[in-house]
Amino acid sequence: MTQNISSTEQRPYHHGDLHRAIVDAALDVLSESQTTEFSLRELARRAGVSHNAPYKHFADKRELLAAVSAVGFELLSKRMAEATKELDSPRKRLTAMARAYVCGGVKNPALYRLMFGGYLAGQDDGRPAIERTAAYNMKALIVGAISDGALGRPIADTEANTRTIDGAILIFWSQMHGLTLLLADRLVGPSDKMEELTGNVLQGMLDGLVNSIPAVPEGVWVGPPLAG
């Protein structure tokens, strides 16, 4: 549960894997340095290719970081799913997902801030399409737990219930996002108590949502919308 969300399997790279080789090199550098202030030339060196090779797959650094963020969401979604695969209770599933989310962010704050911060937002507040899709898939895991009854009663995942489910997710996400940053910035601690702290915060939040779920206002989105 406390694994770094940037970890990648070590494997040989063939010509057709160059795109992922560069992304994996970026994940490694980001995890080690905790900053996005690295060059594509450095990534090429890490991947063992020519310094121009990254530009065959990425127009610029922002496009590369969008791919890195998307992989971050994929890895986090995988860990959230793995944390819940033996759990039948929707509430326990949501709790396990919350712990995976918080632990992942605290273990690699730079990747977390890339995924959930404003670095990749465009002038129109849009996010890169590759990242939006990966983030949406992660959101779907949370929607599944809520619709199955994590808040004390099933809420069908239908268009009529979208604003209610999004209202619950907004509260859940706000709490977990805030706790992640507080722990990562050492304003709350110690970090070895993060799983217990996550459970305590989530418990209080869920107790409130069982009694009342404030629907989001019409026209509000929660999570990067699939349409730019």
Regarding whether 179 and 202 lie in a shared domain, the answer is: yes
The two structure tokens encoding residue 1: 């549960």
**195: in domain:** yes
Indicate the pLDDT class of residue 194, thresholds 50, 70 and 90: confident
187 and 100 in a single domain? The answer is: yes
Is the confidence at residue 166, as pLDDT, over 80?
Answer: yes
Query: What type of residue is 201?
Result: V
Say if CB 196 and CB 118 are below 8 A apart. Answer: no
Looking at the structure, tell me whether residues 49 and 74 fall in a common domain.
Answer: no
Residue 46 and residue 74 in one domain: no
Using CA atoms, how far apart are residues 61 and 58, in angstroms rounded to an integer? 7
Quote the pTM value: 0.83
**What pLDDT shows up at residue 226?**
58
pLDDT reported for residue 3? 45
Domain interval for residue 31: 15-58
Among 73, 74, 76, residue whose Cα is nearest residue 1: 76
Say whether both 82 and 190 belong to one domain.
yes
Residue 222 resides in a domain: no
Rounded Cα gap, residues 202 and 71, in angstroms: 26
Segment 7-47, tens digit of pLDDT: 444 433 444 578 888 899 999 999 999 999 988 888 888 88
Same domain for 52 and 107, yes or no, is no
The answer on 84 and 52 residing in a single domain is: no
- Which domain CATH number covers 23? 1.10.10.60
What's the Cα-to-Cα distance from 75 to each of 3, 115, 199, rounded to whole Å? 11, 12, 22
